[in-house]
Amino acid sequence: MDARQLRYRVEYGVFCAVIFIIQALPLAAAERLTGFLAGVVHRLPPGINRRRVAEENIRRSFPEFSDEQIDAVILGMWNHLFRMVFEVAHIRRRLRLETAPRILDFHQREECVRAILSGRRILFLGGHFGNWEISVNTFGHFGFPMGVIARDLDNPWLHRWFLDYRQSSGNWIISKKGGGSDLVRSLETCGMASLLCDQDAGPRGIFTEFFGRPASTFKSIALLALEYDALIIVGGGIRKPRTEDTRTGWVPFELATQAVIDSRDYQGADAIRQITQAYTTALEQLIRRAQEQYFWVHRRWKSEPRRRRQTKRRAA
């Protein structure tokens, strides 16, 4: 066994131990622990917890926020991410079809279900917002399984664990390595696929307005929607304020449908840009409802439009 394989096994062993501890903890104790861990990470040096990136992103997205409000959003973000880890460890045991009505409040359910039952192909879009694992997992339990694009993990043991977990509700995984062809195949055969739409697409992406700034966005989603006459559903799983539910012990979630975008409404040479802007705007509206549940350390605005890059070079 080489050193890399040994490291993978050790990582997997530690991961399984952590999952066991999480599942053994009472929910109240788990919430106190997540708050403690969030506070620890929040106080780490900015070079470790990427605080400066988060501060800049929030300040430019919400210029009306004070320094205290920005700090509160960042602390809330870490608390949300740690709570999400604990929720993922419990999803397979606690979130099932019969328990879903006690955990989830399905916002705009009729609009979403009408789209799914329309007979047309569906692209489910979310972002690094809310508990995206719960929102995708739930549709599998509802009887609407879909292909989910996800990155392969380097550790094969961890990769198999997450593969089994994500497919436990009936969904199937589309690897990002060959995601294009597999995504097309999923749409052609089963009609539904899910992916995140807030990742930087590099200098060749379409630049759309996201919180008042140009953000490079992949054009492939709009191309697929037009080619396959697909509906686009933008949504996510928003954690709601704590209310005790003695039957589940879980905090409630809102399974939010922010927008249903019909590709037929967009025609002409600018259709790809218009569709891309439409779902980007819908995601922004969703994030504004719970800013602390967005992953602000994510470098969403890393790429800049060509004209801006040229201006910077001339200034330099």
Confidence bin at 300 (pLDDT 50/70/90): very high
Q: What is the mean pLDDT of residues 282-292?
A: 96
pLDDT in tens, 176-198: 776 567 788 878 887 899 999 99
Share of the chain above pLDDT 70, in %: 93
Which of helix, strand or coil describes residue 134?
helix
Q: Whole domain around residue 180: which residue ranges?
A: 3-315
CA dihedral sign, ordered 218, 221, 226, 227: positive
Contact 280, 258 (CB under 8 A): no
CA dihedral sign, ordered 54, 58, 60, 63: negative
Which carries the bigger pLDDT value, residue 288 or residue 241?
Answer: 288
Contact 237, 255 (CB under 8 A): yes
pLDDT in tens, 246-281: 445 667 889 999 999 999 999 898 999 999 999 999
Return the minimum-mean-pLDDT range out of 68-82, 137-151, 220-234.
137-151
Which carries the bigger pLDDT value, residue 168 or residue 216?
Answer: 216
Q: Closest by alpha carbon to 123, among 232, 257, 45? A: 232
Is the pLDDT confidence value at 28 over 90?
no
Q: Closest by alpha carbon to 158, among 311, 9, 260, 42? A: 9
Alpha-carbon Rg for the chain, nearest whole angstrom, is 20
pLDDT at 43: 93
Q: What is the mean pLDDT of residues 218-223?
A: 93
- Average model confidence (pLDDT) across the chain: 88
Which carries the bigger pLDDT value, residue 271 or residue 143?
Answer: 271
pLDDT at 39: 94
pLDDT at 183: 82
Is the pLDDT confidence value at 244 over 80?
no
Q: What is the mean pLDDT of residues 92-120?
A: 86
pLDDT at 179: 57
Per the structure, how many domains does the chain have?
A: 1
pLDDT at 296: 96
